[in-house]
């Protein structure tokens, strides 16, 4: 099984999302060997879920609060994400960590809350350019993954997204991806009893239809978490097709 997830980030108004779904569905046929998901901004979750559900495309949140409800102005809970049609949630994206101060401690509670509300957590990990240049990539991945020792076993997907490859056109090299994915896999096996089956490890960072086939050839890569290219329905349909 391969996995392709669109992270729309803070993009699209309602009409643009409607146009995307129409154009994407015109070029997309479900395959038993690919799971496709779209993570829209909050205001678009319900219409996108309604539009894509019949074609087995899943809808994810981009973030969620650990508490089910309460006085948290501007936040959305896992319960609310589930209520509007999400079956998963992206957690720990580097933009959340860097721009909004999301900590590993906060992620422990978020992963647990996602599990409690039957949302699949897609946990993002990855090093900055400075950390890579200092030879600290595996140390950083180790720290980010160590939260799994505190969450207990949970169904999980992981995305390796080197921060320096996000939105830059600088895709990581095959050797760098293989090393990181192999390390992530070995840490997950140690940290979690794999009661929920193997954990797919996706790559993310400047994926395009031009480079995705090469990425999919890497045995350690189970699919892609796609930013910029996922805003183009034809490109996203192509990426899903390539994964099949």
151 binds ligand 13P (CB under 6 A): no
What's the min distance (Å) between Cβ of 169 and ligand 13P? 8
21 binds ligand 13P (CB under 6 A): no
Which residue among 2, 7, 106, 177 contacts ligand 13P (CB under 6 A)?
7
65 is catalytic: no
Q: How far apart are CA 125 and CA 163, in angstroms?
A: 9
Which has the closest alpha carbon to 114: 77, 146, 85, 148?
77
Instruction: Give the distance, in angstroms, between the CA of residue 64 and the centroid of all CA atoms in the same chain.
Output: 13
**153 versus 224: smaller Cβ distance to ligand 13P:** 224
Looking only at the bridges linking them, the beta strands covering 120-125 and 88-91 are parallel
Binding positions for ligand 13P, 46-85, rule CB under 6 A: none
Contacting range for ligand 13P; rule: CB under 6 A; set: 150-158, 176-184, 205-213, 233-241: 205-213
Q: How far apart are CA 97 and CA 77, in angstroms?
A: 18
166 binds ligand 13P (CB under 6 A): yes
Catalytic residue among 65, 102, 161, 181: 161
User: How far lies 146's CA from each of 6, 100, 196, in Å?
Assistant: 26, 21, 18
Helices and strands, counts by H and E, the chain: 11, 8
Q: How far apart are CA 235 and CA 240, in angstroms?
A: 9
With beta carbons less than 8 A apart as the criterion, state whether 164 and 170 touch: yes
- And the tokens for 84? 């509007």
Which residue among 205, 233, 239, 243 contacts ligand 13P (CB under 6 A)?
205
What's the min distance (Å) between Cβ of 206 and ligand 13P? 4
Total number of residues binding ligand 13P (CB under 6 A)? 14
**42 versus 79: smaller Cβ distance to ligand 13P:** 42
What's the min distance (Å) between Cβ of 170 and ligand 13P? 9
Tell me the catalytic residues: 93, 161
Q: Which residues are at the interface with ligand 13P (CB under 6 A)?
A: 7, 93, 161, 166-167, 204-207, 225-229
């Amino acid at each position: 099984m391969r996995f392709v997830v669109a992270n729309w980030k803070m993009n699209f108004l309602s009409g643009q999302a409607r146009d995307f779904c129409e154009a994407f569905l015109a070029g997309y046929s479900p395959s038993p060997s690919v799971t496709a998901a779209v993570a829209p901004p909050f205001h678009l979750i319900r219409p996108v879920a309604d539009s894509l559900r019949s074609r087995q495309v899943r809808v994810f949140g981009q973030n969620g609060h650990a508490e089910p409800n309460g006085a948290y102005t501007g936040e959305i809970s896992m319960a609310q994400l589930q209520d509007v049609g999400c079956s998963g949630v992206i957690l720990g994206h580097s933009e959340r960590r860097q721009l909004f101060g999301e900590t590993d401690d906060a992620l422990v509670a978020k992963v647990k809350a996602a599990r409690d509300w039957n949302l699949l957590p897609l946990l993002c990990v990855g090093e900055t350019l400075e950390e890579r240049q200092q030879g600290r990539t595996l140390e950083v991945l180790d720290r980010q993954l160590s939260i799994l020792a505190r969450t207990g076993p949970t169904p999980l997907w992981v995305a390796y997204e080197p921060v320096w490859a996000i939105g830059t056109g600088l895709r990581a090299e095959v050797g760098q991806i293989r090393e990181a994915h192999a390390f992530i896999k070995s840490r997950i096996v140690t940290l979690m009893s794999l009661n929920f089956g193997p954990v797919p490890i996706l790559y993310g960072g400047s994926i395009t239809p031009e480079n995705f086939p090469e990425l999919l050839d890497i045995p350690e890569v189970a699919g892609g978490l796609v930013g910029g290219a996922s805003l183009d329905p034809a490109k996203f349909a192509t990426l899903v097709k390539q994964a099949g």
